Structure 1
């Protein structure tokens, strides 16, 4: 196993992590920004008001994109397990 294989494995794992974060967290951040802008415009200073929409959006993204994300992670894990003999030897 040389540095090129380690770099390829690490870069693919990092790409999958970034993909998961972008798909699940980014919509929640956008909704939080919209709610914060609404709160600033109406001068409603309730801290818990932005929690529920962000929670709902995060759960909806997990429901809709969850199978795709789990498929990506399991494909990556299967590829690593199948390539163990070539990576070691």
Structure 2
């Protein structure tokens, strides 16, 4: 296995990680921004008011996108195991 193959697999793994994290992170970002804007307008500075909606939105994003996330991960793993003979040179 040469360095180009290792770098290619590492790049694919990092891209998959970013793709799988995106729904939860973007949802949390949007909800956090909305709650922060609401807190700024109403001048309510409560910590739980920003935490609870983000936690609920992240959980909802996992429920909605969970099947897609698992299928992407299984597909990557299946492709990785299928390419093992070519990677080891056999």
Deviation, 1:10, is: 1.0
Instruction: Specify every segment of 5 or more residues in structure 2 that has no aligned partner in the other structure, as ranges.
Output: none
For the aligned residues, what is the CA RMSD? 1.0
Could you say which residue in structure 2 is the equivalent of 1:61? 61
TM-score (norm 2): 0.92
Q: What TM-score results when the alignment is normalised by the length of structure 1?
A: 0.93
How far apart are the structure 2 equivalents of 1:42 and 1:29? 20
Aligned residues: 89
CA shift, 1:29, in A, is 1.2
Q: Give structure 1 stretches of 5+ with no counterpart.
A: none
Which aligned segments of 4 or more residues in structure 1 are displaced greater than 3 angstroms? none
